[in-house]
Structure 1
Amino acid sequence: MKLGILLTTGPENENTGTVIAISRAARDKGHEVSIFLMYDGVYNIHKKEFSELVDRGVNITLCALNATQRNISKTEGILFGSQYDNACIVNEVDRFISFG
């Protein structure tokens, strides 16, 4: 199964922990996971847990416009994309959940 996740809230929100836990559990079961970060969700790339998700094979993309607006610099393993990338994730996955 392919799972897509949209996260729009910052690291201080409980949604971040939920997304991390769901992503870990899905990868442990062999599912593909793609996360798209936008709005304040782009701040999550500075969390250690998100780089660990990348190491576990989770695809993480963020909205480059939102990152630029918030002075977020590029991070290895995370794609700086656009809403087109978000639409591609939605189109390619079996299930899509949104946290905002």
Structure 2
Amino acid sequence: MGFGRRKVVNAQDELEQSVSRLRELLANADLDNIPEVLQLRKRLDEGLSEVQDSAIDVVHEAKRHARHAARATNEYVHDEPWQIVGGALAAGVVLGFLLGRR
């Protein structure tokens, strides 16, 4: 599992835990007769549904961008292999020079 996906999963877990705690508070039977609490429960459920849909859309969009970037990188490396080799060589020389100065 990648780092970005872990962050999304952690954020989703935290959100679900917070909502669960809020639902527990609102689930008190003594509050069933209060119209504002009923309305708050309904708004909470609707908001959760919207947040989940948005989170799913964000994950799908991120995957799409990652696939596009991977495809573009792969095409560039195959089209311009010597530029990649030259860039890697230059980076290696600079890194070797910096490490050699210590």
What TM bracket, shorter-length normalisation? under 0.3
Q: How does the TM-score come out when normalised to structure 1?
A: 0.24
The structure carrying a bigger strand percent of its residues is 1
Of structures 1 and 2, the one scoring higher in RCO (CA 8 A, sep 6+) is 1
The structure carrying a bigger helix percent of its residues is 2
